């Protein structure tokens, strides 16, 4: 593979990862606004829990969830059960 093709593949991968991260932020914000006020109405009314979260808080949650998912798999991709 030539260097220009490799650079294009890497740039495309980075672009896809960035788009996926932004989509994940939208999902986190939507799920928070949809579930938290219904689960904790008294706490939201008293101001103990935020009804909506900021983009920064959504990014922090996304990073935390990614780290927890990585720890759950042991940091390795799952194998098909075959020994190599």
Per residue in 75-84, pLDDT (tens digit) is 565 555 555 5
Q: pLDDT, tens digit, for every residue of 60-77?
A: 998 998 889 888 777 565
DSSP state letter for 50: -
In the chain, domain spans: 23-72
Q: Which of 75, 78, 59 is nearest to 67 (CA)?
A: 75
For the packed helices 55-72 and 3-39, what is the interaxial angle rounded to 10 degrees? 110
Cα separation, 49 vs 53, whole angstroms: 10
Q: pLDDT, tens digit, for every residue of 5-47?
A: 888 999 999 999 999 999 999 999 999 999 999 999 999 999 9
């Amino acid at each position: 593979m030539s260097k220009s093709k490799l650079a294009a593949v890497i740039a495309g991968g980075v672009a896809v990862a960035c788009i996926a991260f932004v989509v994940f932020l939208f999902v986190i914000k939507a799920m928070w606004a949809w579930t938290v006020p219904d689960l904790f109405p008294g706490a939201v009314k008293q101001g103990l829990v935020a009804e909506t979260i900021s983009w920064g808080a959504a990014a922090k949650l996304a990073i935390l969830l990614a780290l927890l998912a990585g720890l759950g798999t042991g940091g390795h991709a799952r194998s098909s059960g075959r020994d190599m």
